[in-house]
């Protein structure tokens, strides 16, 4: 009788231990800040001092949680992106600090929107880097 009780106890532990798969939490990162859209080159021209310049613009479907933008540039997609401007709050940007151009130059740009999210531990608002824009490819000739 004692053995049967032990056996029933073991079976009960096994059955209780077989828990079900818990559901995942609902994702938050899709809705914190939207992606930059319609990133395009407006013009590739020369400044008054003779430097080459790329003027680009973009749009945001919702700016409720937007604080500023960060713009990245690379000469070799998809690696080696370097930040060229931070805390930028306009939708148009002119890049006149281009690398040295021997003949022609292929440049890749990315724009990141920066917003805020609520920290789960402290409950305070913290910075959140949003999704990157589609890559903008610009070919700049020497003159």
Partner 1 sequence: MIRKIILLFLILLMVNISYAQSSSNYTYQIYQELKLNKNRKELFELPRFDSRRITGLAYSVFVPGSGQIYLGHYTKGSAFAVTFFTSLVGAVVSQNNFIGNRERIQTLQFDYLNSDRYTLADYYWKQMVSVHNEQKMHEKTRNIFTAITIFVWSLNLVDYLFWTVDKGPVEFSYKSDDNFGHIFSIAIPLN
> Footprint of partner 1 on this chain (CB under 8 A)?
3-4, 7, 14, 17-18, 20-22, 24-25, 27-29, 32-33, 120-121, 126-132
CB-CB contact of 125 with 114 (8 Å): no
Number of C-beta neighbours around residue 79 at 10 A:
8
**Beta carbon nearer to partner 1, 47 or 63:** 63
Least distance from partner 1 to the Cβ atom of residue 97, Å? 25
Least distance from partner 1 to the Cβ atom of residue 96, Å? 28
Least distance from partner 1 to the Cβ atom of residue 24, Å? 5
Torsion of CA 56, 61, 64, 68, to 10 degrees: -20
**Beta carbon nearer to partner 1, 7 or 97:** 7
* 11: three-class secondary structure by DSSP: helix
Least distance from partner 1 to the Cβ atom of residue 74, Å? 15
**Beta carbon nearer to partner 1, 18 or 100:** 18
Cα–Cα distances in angstroms (integers) from residue 112 to residues 21, 66, 72, 77, in the given order: 36, 11, 8, 16
């Amino acid at each position: 009788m004692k053995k049967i009780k032990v056996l029933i106890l073991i079976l009960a532990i096994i059955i209780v231990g077989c828990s079900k798969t818990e559901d995942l939490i609902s994702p938050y990162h899709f809705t914190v800040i939207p992606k930059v859209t319609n990133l395009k080159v407006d013009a590739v021209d020369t400044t008054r001092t003779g430097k080459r310049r790329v003027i680009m613009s973009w749009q945001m479907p919702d700016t409720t949680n937007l604080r500023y933008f960060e713009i990245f540039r690379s000469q070799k997609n998809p690696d080696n992106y370097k930040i060229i401007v931070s805390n930028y709050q306009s939708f148009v940007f002119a890049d006149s600090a281009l690398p040295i151009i021997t003949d022609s130059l292929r440049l890749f740009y990315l724009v990141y929107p920066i917003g805020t999210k609520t920290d789960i531990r402290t409950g305070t608002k913290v910075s959140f880097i949003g999704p990157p824009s589609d890559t903008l490819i610009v070919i700049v000739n020497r003159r």
